[in-house]
Amino acid sequence: MPQKVLITGATGFIGGALAKACLEKGYEVHAFVMEGDPEEERVKEMGAIVHHGDIRNEPSIAYAAKGIDLIFHCAGLVTDWASRHHFRRVILEGTENVCKAAHEAQVARLIYISTNDVFGTIEGPVIDEFYPLKKWGEPYPDFKIEAEEIVHYYFNEHGVPATIVYPCWVYGPGDKTFVPLLADAIVKKEMLFWRKDALVWPTYIDNLIDLLMLLSEDGQAVGNGYLVHDGESTTLQKFSAEIAAALNVKPPKLHIPYWLAYLAANVVELIWKFLKIKQRPLLTTYTVKNLGSRFQYSIDRAKRELGWTPKVTYKEAMSTTMKWLKTLDLKELKQK
């Protein structure tokens, strides 16, 4: 009998790719979707069973989890511009509701999608999964840390067989945030740099899904966390230049001092908050910190303990992603 899988955030980039992979494996996929989500039909057409609900509502996720064997918790607030109250409700309370549902349903495995951001802004050492979590002073990474603490609590105190995954910069065909946002800024000549040779650690969607599927089956993964990327870094400048080349526009070259970018982001955020503008500003303090860094991340734990390595090289993945990017309407790149 097919394993029953529940995916929160199933209409998102990662969740949708997971649903497809699970269906191809013969699993019975249950997609937890907010009512009115425009991507719901796409998930249904794939063959998933849709459950309407909201992770902020405990009864709705508890009902969807009944009889489920495996939960992938992908739902979240993938933005750096929202109220702290909204971040708390979605990331923190939502994760606790999913953990409660997993405990009540006695699932065989809970896979929680976290982020590499939880390890803080330390530069120099190569960060692995044993580094202490450290807050940024930014709502998204800070609430993700608190959510992870909840997952650990349910593992330690209630025996929920949980595994945590720390993806770096996820991209690939279907991406709605990372590559499209950069492309939008490049096309509009709004892209600039504030740190020479700032590093990004690309994580191709197929490599992430491959590891997630392995983690759902390997008992060694229970109670552990795993960083994931393509096995190599590149600079933000080079990454942006590849996007520009694919779109046949000039690569961005404007550089400003880090302090000036950070000051500008603070000023812009204050204005946006004062005027109560809901649309995300062009520059935020989180973006300045995140895209002006030289963090180092290791994926040796997944290699060592699980025998996992990225199946798709960064070069191959970037080529595929750029071919996909060329098919998009440049006027509709920016979606978040």
CA 113 to chain centre: 7
To the nearest 10°, the Cα dihedral for 214, 299, 88, 58?
10
Q: Are 199 and 235 in contact (CB under 8 A)?
A: yes
Count of beta carbons in the 10 Å neighbourhood of residue 23 = 17
Which residues neighbour 310 within 8 Å (Cβ) at sequence distance 6 or greater? Answer: 204, 207, 210, 229, 230, 231, 299
| pTM across the whole model | 0.95
Local structure of residue 117 (DSSP, 8 states): G
Q: How many residues does the chain have?
A: 336
The DSSP code sequence of 24-59 is HTT-EEEEEE-TT-TTHHHHHHHTPEEEE--TTSHH
* Rounded Cα gap, residues 109 and 214, in angstroms: 12
pLDDT at 2: 55
Q: What average pLDDT does the segment 8-34 reach?
A: 96
Cα separation, 209 vs 165, in Å, equals 11
Q: Are 179 and 126 in contact (CB under 8 A)?
A: no
Provide the token pair at 97.
């509701």
- Bridge-based pairing of strands 199-200 and 234-235 is antiparallel
Rounded mean pLDDT, 47-73? 96
Give me the domains of the chain, ranges plus CATH numbers: 4-172+202-232+295-312 (3.40.50.720)
pLDDT band at 1 (very low <50, low <70, confident <90, very high): very low
| Model confidence at 336: pLDDT above 50 | no
Write out pLDDT tens, residues 264-314: 999 999 999 999 898 888 899 999 999 999 999 999 999 999 999 999 999
